[in-house]
Amino acid sequence: LANWFYGACALLLGAKFLQHAVIVWQAPEDKASKRMFGFSILYLFALFGALGLDFWLSQRWAAFKALQGVIPCL
């Protein structure tokens, strides 16, 4: 249901989340897990924001493509 923008954001955010998970797995201290928890909140916020922005961009692109048929100079 989403386009390339959301896919790119999900891929980058997922890679960063995986990096945090590996650090937590290797590090016994609490600081790394707290950092991962903080990133998980940012991760969800950014992922849902990217989904909304991707939808908005796809709507604008569809409107632009529709105008190309009406106005030949576009």
Instruction: Say what the pLDDT of residue 72 is.
Output: 64
pTM equals 0.79
| pLDDT digits 0-9 by tens, 18-71 | 999 999 999 878 999 999 999 999 999 999 999 999 999 988 888 877 877 776
b (16+ CB within 10 A) / e for 29-59: eeebbeebeebeeebeebbeebbeebeeebe
Q: Cβ-count burial of 23 within 10 angstroms (0-12 exposed, 13-18 middle, 19+ buried)?
A: middle
Tokens coding 65: 């493509």
Helix (H) / strand (E) element for 60: namely helix 30-70
Instruction: Say what the pLDDT of residue 60 is.
Output: 86
Contact 17, 65 (CB under 8 A): no
